[in-house]
Amino acid sequence: MNLLLAPFRGLVDFFQALARIHRIVPWLVAYVFLLPLPEILSATGNDYYIYLTNRILIFILLSVGLNIVKGFCGQVTVGHIGLYAIGAVTSSLLAINYGWPFWAAMPAAVVVTGLAGIIIGLPSVRLEGAYLALATLGLGESVRIMIAVTPALGSSTGIMLIPPPQVGSFVFDDFQKYYYLVMTAAMIGIYLSFSILRSATGRAFMAIREDVIAASVHGINVPANKLLAFVISALYAGAAGALFAHMPPGFIHHNNFTIIEMVTLLLMVVMGGIGHIWGGVIGAIIVYIIYDNTLEFYHIQPLTFGLIMVLLVVFMPQGIGGVIDRYLVTKRFVKLREEKSDGAA
């Protein structure tokens, strides 16, 4: 295990050293590191890998958002894909029917999705655990069915020819150009999730996850903070949905928002590590690559993913991120003990 985590540890040390210069420095360094990724991938001669990377980055946004409400606030929601659908449909309809540019349609979609987040979150005020999961599942799935039966929302043909984003004469019309857009969005999303979760609001979310009653008697407005968590995660889903809709080839279909996608998304968060900020990122990368490479076994995919999730919950409830966290905490604890015994000697 030590051997396995050693390179990771080195990376953490490196970025912590950078953070000491200024808190934004590690982010800029990581950003610069990631910029040439499509060039490297295009060397394989297959644009598909860049497309795959873009999809992963969109799912990273989704799972980082889901981690806020599920991992940090402890609210079991299975309606997240519904919010993603709302973001995608809102943005594409504004762009196609009203000619809004992407830069106006996307923020509008984010706001609309945020409002929808309140509705998905409302059951959390009364319900917990499996009951909340069922309620949110119903809400999320009804969004998809609504899209599937309403011609104005695409129904069975989907929405086509969604225009790509454009800055001046520069059009984000191929996978490589789009990569810069989604990568920037994902980085901003991760950075903001760090800011939120390290603040008093983040602590309030965690306190609610750990013990609702103790949180409330220490002055935390539990219903308001639960809703806030839902809204924040909905904002992420809205942004991810809009980015997905405008990505070339500019086509969305209600089949993009099924319960299968939801299970995949849940698996990302669970495997990466619930309540671990990097968990959603790690999980999104691993699960999406597996998902994409096993598409030919689509008929047993949901079953397998569900099974993996059950096994993870039983044998590795904290996920990959949890294992890494555990390793770091143990290390710190041992160090503390050593310092103590040194002091005594």
Residues that bind another protein (CB under 8 A): 23, 192, 195-196, 199-201, 203-204, 206-207, 209-211, 213-222, 228, 275, 329, 332-333, 336, 340
Kindly tell me which of 149 and 329 has the beta carbon lying closer to another protein.
329
Q: By the 8 A CB rule, do 147 and 153 touch?
A: yes
Question: For residues 22 and 303, which CB has a smaller minimum distance to another protein in the complex?
Answer: 22
| Conformational region of residue 158, where left means phi above 0, alpha means psi within -120 to 50, and beta covers everything else | left
Kindly tell me which of 163 and 279 has the beta carbon lying closer to another protein: 279
Using the minimum distance from each CB to another protein, give the nearer residue, 203 or 253: 203
Residue 134 and residue 271 in contact, taking contact as beta carbons nearer than 8 Å: no
Nearest distance, CB of residue 93 and another protein, angstroms: 28
Quick one: 78 or 274, whose CB is closer to another protein? 274
Instruction: Please give the C-alpha separations between residue 248 and each of 47, 81, 165, 178, in angstroms, as whole numbers.
Output: 12, 20, 10, 8
Min dist CB 2 to another protein, Å, is: 20
Whole-number minimum distance, CB 199 to another protein, in Å? 4
Closest distance of CB 30 from another protein, Å: 17
Q: Closest distance between another protein and the C-beta of residue 193, in Å? A: 10
CB 177 to another protein: min, Å: 28
Q: Which is nearer to another protein, 43 or 217 (CB)?
A: 217
Q: Which of 137, 142, 136 is nearest to 124 (CA)?
A: 136
